[in-house]
Amino acid sequence: MPRTVLITGGAGFIGAHLATQLLEQGDHVRVLDSLHPQVHRGGERPDYLPEDVELVVGDVRDGDAVRKALVGVDRVAHLAARVGVGQSMYEISEYTSVNGVGTGVLLEALLDHPVERLIVASSMSVYGEGLYVDEAGNPVPSADRRRADLEAGRWEPVGEQGQALTPVATPETKAPTLSSVYALGKYDQERLCLMFGSAYKVPTVALRFFNAYGPWQALSNPYTGVLAIFASRLLNGRPPLVFEDGEQKRDFVSVHDVARACSLALAADSSADGQVVNVGSGESITVNEISSQLAGILGKQDIAPEVTGKFRVGDIRHCFADVSLAEQVLGYAPQVSLQQGMTELAAWLEGQVAVDEVDAATAELTSRGLTV
């Protein structure tokens, strides 16, 4: 039987891909989105959002708009959020309001419009540093980096006695270390939703997305995913700006896999209910390597990245996903290899116009002492 699914923030990159997959399954899809100009230049409905998607333009903090969007809805995917670690460190009230208050407004509205299921988009940023083990292979509870070390260009976390540590795949059992306003807000969102689900018997799942990439990313948003930022620079004939030494490891996951994980979590009878679940590729790659691969597929091999040797407050060194829980409770396994995903991204990038705002964003962070 067709369901009606509301996706908050559904005109965005991940939301639109989820909407597309749900339509293909025969669901009716409604989207609530503010069409924020940082993501949607001109504040207009994006061309990539399928015509069959019902769009309600409104702010998730507007109770009337949220209640209107919930009429007749069976399930909710809560993706609405301000996104970006760096920007969150100085637009503190805005990020706290949209991500925290917006979630609260949605949950209050759900009291009068009960739904069958709720999923919420969280982020790998809640982990802070990923999981590390010591020389004996024992997990290290905390591997936070000291600012004095960063200022001296010592990028790798070390143990309490200065011993070397090795990054390993990060499971959901790793305790959160909230190193940015954005991370705090995402943790707030996931805990609010899981608390609500438990109290009101609404099956709820929090999905911690790793570095999603693919078509429809907002190329002109300097606080979006690193691949989109690098692509914007390369398309404008400028070198990608790489912080630290570029050897930090990340997990890049295709947006198609992310959307599929969301769809699985929205399905009935999920053993993931009440849990947080990683959504990643389960593979790691350095920022230098991903920059080189992107330049290659765009035919921009002659543009070498600019390795700045600087760090940004709130950034972490290594974090990549252990996705075994997602396989166990959702039946999720990544299907798009990095090579396949990068090839698709390159095809979409042909003809795209990107306004490069990276220099201005970097200058803003520097002026506030957030890069050193």
Helix (H) or strand (E) holding 297: helix 287-297
pTM: 0.94
Residuewise pLDDT in 10s, the chain (372 residues)? 789 999 999 999 999 999 999 999 999 999 999 999 888 887 889 999 999 999 999 999 999 999 999 999 999 999 999 998 888 999 999 999 999 999 999 999 999 999 999 999 999 999 999 999 999 999 998 888 888 889 999 999 998 888 899 999 999 999 999 989 999 999 999 999 999 999 999 999 999 999 999 999 887 666 667 887 888 788 888 898 899 999 999 999 999 999 999 999 998 677 899 999 999 999 999 999 999 999 998 889 899 999 999 998 888 999 999 999 999 999 999 999 999 998 898 888 887 766 666 566 666 666 766 676
How long a stretch of residues is the chain? Answer: 372
Give the CATH superfamily of 4-131+168-367.
NAD(P)-binding Rossmann-like Domain (3.40.50.720)
Under DSSP, the state recorded for 59 is -
Residue type, 222: P
In contact, 251 and 321? CB cutoff 8 Å: yes
Q: State how far the Cα of 14 lies from the Cα of 258, in Å rounded to an integer.
A: 7
What are the structure tokens assigned to 176, written together?
Answer: 């959160």
Residues that are catalytic: 182
Q: State how far the Cα of 349 lies from the Cα of 346, in Å rounded to an integer.
A: 5
Q: State how far the Cα of 358 lies from the Cα of 171, in Å rounded to an integer.
A: 32
Ordered DSSP codes for 194-212:
HHHHHHHT--EEEEEE-EE
Q: Give the Cα-Cα-Cα angle 290, 294, 364 (nearest 5 degrees).
A: 75
- What residue segments make up the domains of the chain, in order of their start? 4-131+168-367, 132-167
In contact, 285 and 248? CB cutoff 8 Å: no
Q: State how far the Cα of 163 lies from the Cα of 157, in Å rounded to an integer.
A: 9
